[in-house]
Chain A
Amino acid sequence: MALDYSFSEEHDELRATVRAFLEEKSDETAVREHMASERGFAPQVWEQLAEQMGLAGLIIPEEHGGAGMSYVELLVVMEEMGRSLLCAPFLGSAVFAANAVLACANEPTQKEVLAGIAAGKLLATVAHLEPGRRWDLDAIELQAKDGTLTGSKTAVLDGHTADVIFVVARTDAGLGLFRVDADAAGMTRTPIPELDLTRQLARIDFAGTPATEVSQGDQTAALERVLGLTVAALAAEQAGGAQACLEQATDYAKTRLQFGRPIGSYQGIKHKCADMLVEVEFAKSAAYNACFAAAEGADDFLETAALAKAYCSEAYFHAAANNIQIHGGMGFTWEHPAHLYFKRAKASELLFGDAAHHREVLAGKLGL
């Protein structure tokens, strides 16, 4: 079934509304303020995002208090968030945790948490990667024993501020989803000093921490899909960030004069911008393809997600690096926003596995 990648008027309105909100509440000054704050985001902005815009529950079904929207609406929202470098627990709570709970958790758990997540009042996250191990699900070793967890997880999105943590751990059946509340005993949450100050990550150490299995049986296949859905959303965010870098670089190339000419009039710069344009358009294609595939329930969704994460990771990094280069010395300063996009690009590339990792996943699925 061919995906048609077309956006409706409602999608365009959604994009315009989200963009306007973010331009007001998450402009560059706000981003710098929020990233330096204790929690790494502004609670009032998050509240507005959740309550006024209903975004925290965007993909959560209406029966659980969400907006019941599809991945097409999510892609629009993620692109805009990436464009503005919004500092918020959105990827961790509204995307990763929401998807994990919807795909793996039993009904009572869904009833308990989804409404809170949708309202933005309950901050949830998923702990999956273990220190020194691969991002693949088969690399997970943390085991639940007698209702407790002992071991470590790392790179947990907003791990140190989340109210509830869903831990992926090994069981006799395979992999299960475990719920750990913020005040659980024997749990130490350590913020990781980030390369990318705009996204909070934590390491979590469990020492006999009580944990409740909220799934039944082996969740490996469901979790693979959850990871796919999360990286597809991240890819859309990366595409939005890459687009922002292209615009910044091009605008600068038009207005910066050296040797009596705008620097964009030199082929070296002009061609660089043109090459960025190609990568940005392909990044959008990759992200849109994955998100439309998710929305339409396409069979090859996991392939599209791997492709999107691989391509968008590199496209964003190139765009952000070129943006610094085109801005010359100014692009190297703390004061100019180029470094914020550059760091977000690199960190997003490494999160959930880099391009080489996802190309390997794709190659496997393609039977190459």
Chain B
Amino acid sequence: MSDHAQMSEEELRGRVRALLEEVHPERTDAVTFRRKQYEHGLAWVHFPEGHGGLGLSPKLNVVVTDEISKHSKVVHPDPGVSIIGIGMGAPVVLTYGTEEMKRDMLPRIFSGEDVWCQMFSEPGAGSDVAGLAMRAERDGDEWVVNGQKVWTTVAHLSRWGMLLARTNPDVPKHDGLSYFVLDMQAPGVEVRPLYQITGEAEFNEVFLTDVRIPHDRMLGKEGQGWQVAITTLMNERVAIGGGGSKKKGGGAISALVKLWQEREKAALSPAQEAILRDRVTQCWIEQELLRVTSQRARAAQKSGNPGPEGSVSKLAQAEGNKRLWETALDVLGADGLAFEAGYELRQGYGGTESAQALAKYQFLRSRANSIEGGTSEIMRNILGERVLGLPGEPRVDKAIPWKDVPRS
């Protein structure tokens, strides 16, 4: 066991400077730089040596990015499309993967060369994701997989997918799942864009027809899939929950305030102005309290996996965000009747050409905040049962074989 656990922040900063002497972000492309960053153990400092880390506390990761930004105008941050791979794929490969997988996959996750997607949800398994039906059947050294996944972000860009499939329908649902790393280029994998209320497709559907996965790409043991997945789900809830801006008055509320300040005064009577002003102020209060609550949660949080505490922010932000953009539309009034960006059905994320276009887009997009990553209804159950300790409702699905549970 190395003595890196004792490494001071100053020493770590020295390591970063050594990296920068070898390759400098201002003179090197992102992939090359980040590959080097990985080799130097500065990708995830809490990962073991030899796998992109130095065996340090995860709290020291921010030191790395801070030190880089001190010496470079360019920092080559985590690519947006790689957030799933970096935040969820890498930890699960590290914990459960073979040495070969760690060696081959981790550097390419960090560098951004390989994008990863998460394949849990199905049309019939949303809130009840553990009830999923995608079937994996053993055939020699391989598993043959059939079924459909939905809401798969970046599937169309992904090299690998974190796949949860049912390997045993005869046991209770949580016990019959296994976790696989899916080669997205394997025969039988079909990705289709899933167009949404705004016209774009941020997400995809993925159809698997007789797709073969080698047994050594099962992470964890057969039937252990839920345990392996639960960690990634908790991380996702916090990653989405976020808790709004770190800066007072920043983020979405600053957009609403700007729209308010730039409002068409002649379009509002004094009474309407007073009402809208009060609504904007209420939104300001809500967003500020989200910020302060997140700060409090961060302060209290120990390293490792976040628990139900993150759920308060998730629920509050989802409902608050919808309210904020509804208020924005009402501030715009008759101008709210136009959707300047148009509803072109295309893959990608909505444009933000102007403050008004952003408001319209977010007004529509925010409807999913109370659905994605856990619906507000589920969040309320979690808060009531796991945080407040209120008794749960009777369950009809937990102890019986999955195949006997009624499904739509």
Chain A interface residues toward B at CB < 8 A: 129, 131-136, 139, 154-155, 192-197, 201, 255-261, 266, 268-269, 321, 324-325, 328-335, 339, 342-343, 346-347, 350-351, 354, 356-357, 360
- Report whether A333 and B396 are in contact in the complex, using a CB–CB cutoff of 8 Å: no
Given contacts A195-B338, A260-B405, is CB(A329)–CB(B151) below 8 Å? Answer: yes
**Complex alpha-carbon distance, A224 and B100, angstroms:** 77
**Neighbour of B196 across the interface among A196, A334, A350, CB < 8 A:** A334
Which residues of B, 108-150, contact A by the 8 Å Cβ criterion?
Answer: 121, 123, 125-128, 131, 150
Stretch from B58-66, B210-218, B247-255, B371-379 at the A interface: B371-379
Chain A positions within 8 Å of B199 at CB level: 334
Residue of A nearest to B151 (CB): A329
**Neighbour of A332 across the interface among B271, B345, B367, B376, CB < 8 A:** B367
**Neighbour of B368 across the interface among A136, A193, A332, A342, CB < 8 A:** A332
Chain A positions within 8 Å of B123 at CB level: 330
A-B contact pairs, 27 of them (CB 8 A): A132-B266, A132-B267, A133-B267, A134-B267, A134-B268, A134-B269, A193-B339, A195-B360, A197-B343, A255-B408, A257-B407, A259-B395, A259-B396, A259-B397, A260-B406, A268-B377, A325-B370, A325-B371, A328-B126, A329-B126, A329-B372, A334-B345, A339-B197, A350-B330, A350-B336, A356-B276, A360-B271
Chain B positions within 8 Å of A324 at CB level: 197, 367
A-B residue pairs, 7 tightest by C-beta: A260-B397, A334-B195, A258-B128, A339-B197, A195-B339, A260-B396, A132-B264
**Complex alpha-carbon distance, A356 and B327, angstroms:** 12
- Report whether B339 and A258 are in contact in the complex, using a CB–CB cutoff of 8 Å: no
Given contacts A132-B264, A132-B266, A193-B338, is CB(A332)–CB(B407) below 8 Å? Answer: no
**Neighbour of B266 across the interface among A133, A155, A357, CB < 8 A:** A133
**Complex alpha-carbon distance, A256 and B407, angstroms:** 8
**Complex alpha-carbon distance, A193 and B343, angstroms:** 9
**Neighbour of A195 across the interface among B336, B406, B407, CB < 8 A:** B336
| Chain B nearest Cβ from A72, distance in angstroms | 29
- Report whether B333 and A266 are in contact in the complex, using a CB–CB cutoff of 8 Å: no
Given contacts A134-B267, A260-B397, A332-B371, is CB(A194)–CB(B339) below 8 Å? Answer: yes
- Report whether A257 and B367 are in contact in the complex, using a CB–CB cutoff of 8 Å: no
**Neighbour of A351 across the interface among B197, B264, B329, B337, CB < 8 A:** B337
Beyond known contacts A155-B337, A196-B337: 8 more, CB 8 A cutoff: A192-B338, A201-B337, A256-B408, A258-B125, A324-B197, A333-B194, A342-B367, A357-B269
B295 in the interface, Cβ–Cβ < 8 Å?
no
Given contacts A194-B339, A332-B368, is CB(A155)–CB(B334) below 8 Å? Answer: yes
- Report whether B334 and A350 are in contact in the complex, using a CB–CB cutoff of 8 Å: yes
**Complex alpha-carbon distance, A268 and B264, angstroms:** 40
| Chain B nearest Cβ from A256, distance in angstroms | 5
Chain B interface residues toward A at CB < 8 A: 121, 123, 125-128, 131, 150-151, 194-197, 199, 264, 266-269, 271-272, 275-276, 322, 329-330, 333-334, 336-343, 345, 360, 363-364, 367-368, 370-372, 375-377, 380-381, 393, 395-397, 405-408
Most A C-beta atoms less than 10 A away, residue of B268, B329, B342, B367: B367
**Neighbour of A269 across the interface among B337, B372, B377, CB < 8 A:** B377
Most B C-beta atoms less than 10 A away, residue of A132, A139, A154: A132
**Complex alpha-carbon distance, A131 and B264, angstroms:** 9
**Complex alpha-carbon distance, A343 and B337, angstroms:** 9
How many A-B pairs have beta carbons closer than 8 Å: the answer is 135
Residue of B nearest to A136 (CB): B269
**Complex alpha-carbon distance, A338 and B330, angstroms:** 21
**Complex alpha-carbon distance, A258 and B405, angstroms:** 10
**Neighbour of A350 across the interface among B125, B197, B333, B342, CB < 8 A:** B333
**Complex alpha-carbon distance, A332 and B267, angstroms:** 32
- Report whether B371 and A329 are in contact in the complex, using a CB–CB cutoff of 8 Å: yes
- Report whether B333 and A354 are in contact in the complex, using a CB–CB cutoff of 8 Å: yes
Chain A positions within 8 Å of B342 at CB level: 193
**Complex alpha-carbon distance, A224 and B184, angstroms:** 63
Chain B positions within 8 Å of A331 at CB level: 367, 371
| Chain A nearest Cβ from B173, distance in angstroms | 9
Residue of B nearest to A135 (CB): B334
Residue of B nearest to A351 (CB): B337
Chain B positions within 8 Å of A258 at CB level: 125-128, 131
**Neighbour of A259 across the interface among B128, B151, B343, B367, CB < 8 A:** B128
- Report whether A139 and B266 are in contact in the complex, using a CB–CB cutoff of 8 Å: yes
- Report whether B272 and A332 are in contact in the complex, using a CB–CB cutoff of 8 Å: no
**Neighbour of B197 across the interface among A269, A334, A356, CB < 8 A:** A334
**Complex alpha-carbon distance, A155 and B338, angstroms:** 9
| Chain A nearest Cβ from B174, distance in angstroms | 12
Given contacts A133-B266, A333-B196, is CB(A195)–CB(B367) below 8 Å? Answer: no
| Chain A nearest Cβ from B346, distance in angstroms | 11
Residue of A nearest to B270 (CB): A360
**Complex alpha-carbon distance, A165 and B157, angstroms:** 51
**Neighbour of A257 across the interface among B343, B363, B372, B406, CB < 8 A:** B406
- Report whether A360 and B126 are in contact in the complex, using a CB–CB cutoff of 8 Å: no
- Report whether A332 and B395 are in contact in the complex, using a CB–CB cutoff of 8 Å: no
- Report whether A129 and B196 are in contact in the complex, using a CB–CB cutoff of 8 Å: no
**Neighbour of B337 across the interface among A134, A192, A342, CB < 8 A:** A192
Chain A positions within 8 Å of B405 at CB level: 260
- Report whether B131 and A259 are in contact in the complex, using a CB–CB cutoff of 8 Å: yes
Residue of A nearest to B268 (CB): A134
